[in-house]
Chain A
Amino acid sequence: MNIIVCLKITPDPEDLEVGRDGSISTERAEWTIGGFDLPALEAGVRLVEAHGGKVIVLCAGPAEINNSKIKKDILSRGADELYTIVDESLRHAGTARTAAVLAAAVQKLGEVDLVLSGEGSADLYFQQTGVQVGERLGWMTINAVSQIEVGANGALAIQRTLEQEIELLEAALPAAIAVTSDIHEPRLASMREILKAGRKPTFEWSLAELGVADLPETIDILKVEAPPRVARKQVMIEGSPEEAAKALLSHLRKEGVL
């Protein structure tokens, strides 16, 4: 079974800087592999370990994703090959264009049975790209999948976790599946795997090579800003723990929340 895992490499949301004026900057943020995406890679690697085939990772984004440490990080976690699609226009692409680019890459790779993606990207968390890729390919497309097994008939036996229930489904291949972040805990890489990662094949494609250089953009980003802050009283209570406790409770009684 050949599996493509779509990973998004993004500025680390932890490194987000909020200016006094509410402006947002990711300029000094370190770029990392999305935390919700790594479980998808782990799911792909486990399927291939159990059933053979290979895991190909697909990343699309601006030049920052061409980071050899991040590439080794990905390849040290069990992926066999890595394809990056690098274009400045992908930095702020809407999910429609990102999905179209990824779908074109899947088609170019051919001979793929399964496309996996994470629950949502680490920066935007729109939870859209994976399912849009599946639909663009015209494949069986399912989200929120918390378990994947290969049944005796070659179809996938899938567990899907919804708000209040679990569904057990059978889905024929080829399929595109977006997994939940708790499907598997991503593995840690050993030094052996880290050393091996540097020798695994990586490829870079341009939008033109995929025939998607001139896709129209569907959104126009007008503004990114810090969310409005709720005004709070900001009363700091001093004194010994006992005094502070009593003072706090007296405030809370006056507020009528006890």
Chain B
Amino acid sequence: MDFRWSEEQELLVQNLEELLHKEAPESLMAELDGKKEFPYKPWQALADHGILALGIPEEYGGVPADIQTLTLVCETLGEHALPLGIIYSLGIITIRDILQFGSEEIKREVLGGFVQGDPPVALGITEPQAGSDAAAMKTTATLDGEDVIFNGQKMYCTLSHQARYILLMTRDAQVENPYQGISMWLLPTDTPGLRFNYLNKVGWWTVPTYEVFIENVRMPRKNLVGGMNRGWQQLMANFEIERLALCAASLGAAKAAYQDAAAYANQRVQFGKPIGSYQAVQHMITDMAVHIENMQNYIYKVAWMMDQNLPVRYEHAMCKLYVARASFEVIDTAMQILGGLGYMMEHRVQRLWRDIRLMRIGGGSDEIMYNIAAPQLLKKASR
């Protein structure tokens, strides 16, 4: 067992940290958050320095990278500029789906654009009545000669207005088993018939979310990604890595909050002593550090398993469940240590606190993670 990073990984993180220090400083991220703006410039900087190329094959302008390396990138982004980590993680699933199932033409177009700095492809899955029960979706795709016509509505479609494409999931009502009747399409966001309704949310202000209305949207059939009615299986193929990436970004955010809290505990003097000298605060600091260490170990292990092509049927769900809650707890405790200061809109910890809460809901809620893990655990025990 070797917990050391490779020299290449260390250099990558060093360079990325320097890049973020320059192109995505805390002052800029705070400003963009206040304006609720997508971080176009920092995102472009990531593209310009080849970060977005990682994990994409060389023939599409990419640079090979294993999952451990991608995880380190997400963690670093999360620590220095959490929204970039979130956006990057959201991109991982759609980009991988396209890479794995898209036609050559689609791959060249989408992957080439992503490497150059396009925002990630948005994922159109959730519908008003189909959230965790994604198979209950109703958006339809009707074939019409060489074309296909979409009708329906997507909910919580994050980045759909910024993205050039939505990876749209549609349901063929003719097929009885919903998991056998879902298809995946690459839908350009400038196609006539699409309407976007901005949704206000508690956090993720620089990662905007929309409700998308789809009315008689016509598109060539060749924009089908993968096989007809194979969409669900295709989607499931890359959920694990998205969850892992979100975990790594959350870990980074927790580290940032921990640093703020620990520094404050050392410098804030109350009743004549730094608050870090009080046992109550010392326990908080230690509990935070234990959580961070555990998150790190869990995430790196799952990443390693995936790199070894070992199955992660329930490990990824348990990891996500733990990290979503532990990172929230660390950041919440950081706010407690910072007191009134951490609750002020000027402090980054309030932003991390608002942003991190969604990790227990998005990318599969805590409850779904239990649903994935428990049956597998029990099955294993019954053997």
Contacts and interface: CB of A to CB of B under 8 A. Distances in A.
Direct A–B contact in complex, judged by CB atoms less than 8 Å apart: yes
A76 interface: yes
Q: Report whether over half of chain A's contact residues are helix, strand or loop; otherwise say mixed.
A: helix
Nearest to A195: B8
A192 B63 contact: yes
Contacts of B51: 190-191
B7 A191 contact: no
Interface in A33-70: 68-69
Instruction: Determine the interface band of chain A, counting residues with CB < 8 A from chain B.
Output: 10 to 19
A190 B49 CA distance: 5
Contacts, number: 45
A252 to B, nearest CB: 23
Contact of A194 (B12, B19, B53): B12
A19 B366 CA distance: 51
Contacts of A188: 15, 18-19, 49
Nearest to A192: B63
B112 interface: no
A198 interface: yes
B37 interface: no
Contact of B63 (A73, A190, A197): A190
Given A188-B15, A190-B63, A195-B63, A69 B10 contact: yes
A191 B10 contact: no
A136 B51 CA distance: 44
Contacts of B361: none
A72 B8 contact: yes
Nearest to A185: B22
A190 B54 CA distance: 10
Contacts of B10: 69
A76 B15 CA distance: 10
Interface in A173-193: 188-193
B49 A194 contact: no
Contacts of A73: 11, 14
A194 B7 CA distance: 9
Contacts of B263: none
A146 B56 CA distance: 39
Interface string B47-86: 0011101100000000101000100000000000000000
B7 to A, nearest CB: 4
Contacts of A189: 11, 15
B18 A194 contact: no
Nearest to A76: B11
Nearest to B69: A191
A233 B7 CA distance: 47
A68 B18 CA distance: 21
A89 B10 CA distance: 30
Interface string B24-50: 000000000000000000000000011
A190 B50 contact: yes
Interface string A86-100: 000000000000000
B241 to A, nearest CB: 18
A69 B15 CA distance: 13
B271 to A, nearest CB: 12
Chain A CB within 10 Å, residue with most, of B15, B18, B19, B54: B15
A198 B8 contact: yes
Nearest to B50: A190
A69 B53 contact: no
A45 B11 CA distance: 19
B81 to A, nearest CB: 15
Contacts of B65: 191
Contacts of B53: 190-192
A35 to B, nearest CB: 12
A192 B14 CA distance: 14
Nearest to B23: A188
Nearest to B12: A191
A153 B11 CA distance: 40
A188 B69 CA distance: 18
A68 B11 CA distance: 11
Nearest to B19: A188
A188 B14 CA distance: 9
A68 B8 CA distance: 10
B240 to A, nearest CB: 23
Contact of B50 (A68, A192, A198): A192
Contacts of B12: 191, 194
6 closest cross-chain pairs (CB), A and B: A190-B50, A69-B7, A188-B15, A192-B63, A194-B11, A191-B63
Interface of B: 7-8, 10-12, 14-15, 18-19, 49-51, 53-54, 63, 65, 69
24 contacts: A69-B7, A72-B8, A72-B11, A73-B11, A76-B11, A76-B15, A188-B18, A189-B11, A190-B53, A191-B8, A191-B12, A191-B50, A191-B51, A191-B54, A191-B65, A191-B69, A192-B50, A192-B53, A193-B50, A194-B12, A194-B15, A195-B8, A195-B63, A198-B7
Given A76-B11, A194-B11, 17 more contacts: A68-B7, A69-B10, A69-B11, A72-B7, A72-B11, A73-B11, A189-B15, A190-B50, A190-B53, A190-B63, A191-B8, A191-B12, A191-B53, A191-B63, A192-B50, A192-B63, A194-B15
